[in-house]
């Protein structure tokens, strides 16, 4: 039984119909990759072993192509390779690259000058990090473009983004198509605004919440660049949002009153651990739940707890081909 059949079987108690699957190409799909650096190679950790490599076929072509070139630059300069611990890559739909080099040593001007020259020669942005230090050769943001209305979106080297370059726009389109009879939206775990920005054109108003400071800054930058004015964001954890509805006052709401909203939908895109009991309780008060999940097991668990809802629409997205992971996009409606 493959992972699609396994999920279909696990969710049959709530949704018996066949579920559509959105397939990704088997390689060159990852726009975000992280590697250790050791013995003049990139390193990934397998089961009880290290995997040494010069490039990585799952990575986008831009990342694949630059990996051996950058590795050669690193290995040919002792100052650059000394105490280099990790190398992370991010690419975007505009074929631009952001590469983070993390060191276990103090960064000096000499090293920055060397990396600045590499950045110029290879036309890449390099972020240099060490303890309590960060420096962006070309700034700290990577600008990207969403297919929906050509919206600008920004990320930093330590914010979460959807990593499959072929499926992210399809997921956004699917969420948009799932929605009807909308008024206002409450979004938890909004991240950098991957869904927030497109959905601002569907809903009257959006309250977007996220606990990560860097993600909130990226979202604010995107809202400004795209001239979007109907989204209010607040740096709140999912549990704090539950407390907000219970009457707790947060200065981070910047004087925005929760009672000013007429919510028809809540959007949940949690980490792999799924929804907490507080969020389950909060979401149960809504008419519609847009649930985007990266873990089929916690999704099934949470659906059982959301017993007053039915799965109205659902599709699968194979973000990581040949791996056990599945991304699920669904709309749950309260049973009347």
pLDDT of res. 48: 86
pLDDT at residue 303 tops 90: yes
Average pLDDT, whole number, for the chain? 96
Mean pLDDT calculated for residue range 315-333: 94
Residues identified as active-site: 294, 327
Residues forming CATH 2.40.50.1070 domain(s) in the chain: 32-143
Pairing of strands 97-103, 125-130: parallel
141-170 pLDDT tens trace: 999 999 999 999 999 999 999 999 999 999
- The band of 323, judged by pLDDT with boundaries at 50, 70 and 90, is confident
Distance CA 277, CA 283 (A): 10
Mean pLDDT calculated for residue range 276-287: 96
pLDDT of res. 85: 96
Mean pLDDT calculated for residue range 119-129: 97
pLDDT of res. 336: 81
| CATH T-level topology, domain 32-143 | OB fold (Dihydrolipoamide Acetyltransferase, E2P) (2.40.50)
pLDDT of res. 46: 84
CA dihedral 275, 280, 283, 284 (to 10 degrees): 150
- The band of 176, judged by pLDDT with boundaries at 50, 70 and 90, is very high
Distance CA 268, CA 179 (A): 14
Top CATH class, 3-24+167-334: alpha beta
Which H, E and C letters describe the chain, residue by residue?
CCHHHHHHHHCCCCCCCCCEEECCCCCCCECEEEEEEECCEEEEEECCEEEEECCCCCECHHHHHHHHHHHHHHHCCHHHHCCEEEEEEEECCCCCEEEEEEECCCCCHHHHHHHHHHHHHHCCEEEEEECCEEEEECECCEEEECCHHHCEEEECCCCCCCCECCCHHHHHHHHHHHCCCCCEEEEECCCCCCCHHHHCCCCCEEEEECCCHHHHHHHHHHHHHCCCCCEEEECCCHHHHHHHHCCCCCHHHCCCCHHHCCEEEEEECCCCCCCCHHHHHHHCCCCEEEEEECCHHHHHHHHHHCCCEEEEEEEEECCCCCCCCCEEEEEEEECC
Structure token digits, residue 17 = 């119909």
Residues forming CATH 3.40.50.150 domain(s) in the chain: 3-24+167-334
55-114 pLDDT tens trace: 999 999 999 999 999 999 999 999 999 999 999 999 999 889 999 999 999 999 999 999
226-248 pLDDT tens trace: 999 999 999 999 999 999 999 99
Q: What phi and psi, each to the nearest 5 degrees, are found at residue 202?
A: -100, -40
pLDDT at residue 276 tops 80: yes
Distance CA 264, CA 185 (A): 6
Structure token digits, residue 160 = 């979460």
């Amino acid at each position: 039984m493959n992972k699609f059949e396994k999920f279909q079987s696990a969710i049959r108690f709530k949704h018996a119909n066949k579920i559509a699957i959105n397939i990704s190409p088997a390689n060159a799909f990852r726009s975000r990759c992280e590697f250790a650096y050791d013995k003049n190679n990139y390193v990934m950790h397998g089961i009880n072993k290290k995997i040494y490599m010069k490039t990585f076929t799952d990575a986008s072509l831009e990342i694949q192509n630059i990996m051996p070139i950058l590795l050669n630059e690193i290995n040919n300069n002792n100052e650059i390779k000394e105490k280099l611990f990790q190398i992370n890559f991010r690419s975007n739909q505009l074929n631009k690259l952001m590469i983070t080099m993390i060191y276990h040593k103090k960064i000096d001007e000499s090293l920055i000058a060397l990396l600045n020259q590499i950045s110029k020669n290879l036309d890449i942005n390099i972020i240099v990090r060490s303890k309590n230090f960060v420096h962006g050769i070309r700034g700290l943001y990577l600008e990207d473009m969403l297919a929906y209305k050509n919206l600008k979106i920004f990320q930093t080297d330590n914010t979460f983004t959807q990593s499959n370059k072929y499926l992210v726009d399809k997921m956004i389109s699917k969420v948009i198509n799932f929605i009807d009879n909308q008024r206002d939206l409450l979004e938890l775990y909004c991240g950098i605004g991957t869904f927030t920005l497109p959905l601002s054109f569907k809903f009257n108003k959006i309250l977007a919440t996220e606990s990560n400071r860097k993600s909130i800054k990226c979202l604010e930058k995107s809202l400004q660049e795209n001239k979007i004015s109907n989204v209010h964001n607040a740096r709140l954890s999912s549990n704090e949002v539950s407390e907000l509805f219970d009457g707790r006052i947060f200065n981070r709401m910047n004087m925005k009153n929760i009672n000013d909203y007429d919510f028809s939908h809540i959007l949940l895109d949690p980490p792999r651990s799924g929804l907490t009991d507080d969020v389950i309780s909060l979401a149960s008060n809504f008419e519609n739940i847009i649930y985007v999940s990266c873990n089929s097991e916690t999704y099934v668990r949470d659906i059982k707890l959301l017993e007053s809802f039915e799965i109205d629409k659902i599709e699968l997205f194979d973000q990581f081909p040949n791996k056990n992971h599945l991304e699920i996009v669904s709309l749950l409606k309260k049973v009347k």
